[in-house]
């Protein structure tokens, strides 16, 4: 399996994976989305809420706030020395107190452990005059397979496309319609595979240029929600996958 970074931004990275099989690439995708843990709010206790939003809706919104996660500091509740009772090593406590008129933002959540929301300007609710919100919230580590709010990002892959040359007039039309296709000699080629889209595929289809998909090569896209450093995400996922394989091999023995 070979891996080459095609494009990288602050919260998105696109790889070209070659010489790999679908189950392996899919295992990497699943480990990324479902197994890499992050912090998210699990419990909210309302002392006061006369905003327009019900407690349940606000609680749900708060659960979805991505929190900057330090995996070295926090343990899973079930693996913690406190035996699941909850302590500073497995839970983060937040307090929020706001009085209207104002917009309550994610940054209004103040934690005792210094944990901050990834996007401080995320609005939670709007308070009008005489409306008040007072609450306490508890965040803990979890996995995307338990709840999507714990997912560290989005990962997906597509097969690597190869354009099959047909009539030159069709090739010319494709190159005219898409900025991402160029004519080289008598062949149509993709300029930048990292920005190849379904719209480009549609242009090929409409102009009778066949696309062959190489099922051992992939364009793998990873988008992070910001809780963890995107550069560390693939390694974290692979470590978890390796651990699972070791467990399996032990069981087989």
Contact flag: residue 57 with Zn ion (CB under 5 A): no
Q: Which two tokens stand for residue 26?
A: 């899919």
CB 75, min distance to Zn ion, A: 6
| 52 contacts 126 by C-beta, under 8 angstroms | yes
Contact flag: residue 87 with Zn ion (CB under 5 A): yes
3-state secondary structure of 151: coil
Residue of the chain from 25, 40, 90, 171 that contacts Zn ion (CB under 5 A): 90
Contact flag: residue 80 with Zn ion (CB under 5 A): yes
Distance CA 146, CA 42 (A): 12
Contact flag: residue 82 with Zn ion (CB under 5 A): yes
Contact flag: residue 39 with Zn ion (CB under 5 A): no
- Pick 79 or 229: Cβ nearer Zn ion: 79
Angle at 111 between CA 108 and CA 112, to 5 degrees: 145
Contact flag: residue 76 with Zn ion (CB under 5 A): no
101 preceded by a cis bond (ω within 30 of 0): yes
CB 74, min distance to Zn ion, A: 9
- Pick 61 or 89: Cβ nearer Zn ion: 89
Helix/strand number for the chain, H first, E second: 5, 12
Phi, psi of 17 (to 5 degrees): -105, 125
- Pick 84 or 123: Cβ nearer Zn ion: 84
Q: Which residues bind Zn ion (CB under 5 A)?
A: 80, 82, 87, 89-90
């Amino acid at each position: 399996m070979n891996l080459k970074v095609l494009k990288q931004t602050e919260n998105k990275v696109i790889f070209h994976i070659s010489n790999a099989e679908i189950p392996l690439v899919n295992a990497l995708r699943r480990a990324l989305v479902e197994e890499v843990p992050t912090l998210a709010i699990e419990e909210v206790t309302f002392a006061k809420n006369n905003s327009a939003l019900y407690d349940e809706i606000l609680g749900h919104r708060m659960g979805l706030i991505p929190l900057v996660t330090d995996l070295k500091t926090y343990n899973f509740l079930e693996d913690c020395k406190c035996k699941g009772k909850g302590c500073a090593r497995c839970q983060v406590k937040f307090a929020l107190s706001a009085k209207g008129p104002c917009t309550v933002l994610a940054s209004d959540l103040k934690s005792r452990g210094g944990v901050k929301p990834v996007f401080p300007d995320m609005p939670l609710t709007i308070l009008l005059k005489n409306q008040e919100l007072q609450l306490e919230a508890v965040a803990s580590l979890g996995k995307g397979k338990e709840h999507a709010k714990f997912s560290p990002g989005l990962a997906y892959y597509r097969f690597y496309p190869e354009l099959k040359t047909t009539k030159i007039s069709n090739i010319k039309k494709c190159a005219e319609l898409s900025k991402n296709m160029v004519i080289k000699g008598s062949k149509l080629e993709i300029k930048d595979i990292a920005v190849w889209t379904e719209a480009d595929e549609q242009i090929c289809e409409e102009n009778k240029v066949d696309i062959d998909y190489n099922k051992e090569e992939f364009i793998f896209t990873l988008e992070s929600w910001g809780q963890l450093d995107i550069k560390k995400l693939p390694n974290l996922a692979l470590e978890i996958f390796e651990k699972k394989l070791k467990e399996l091999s032990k069981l087989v023995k």
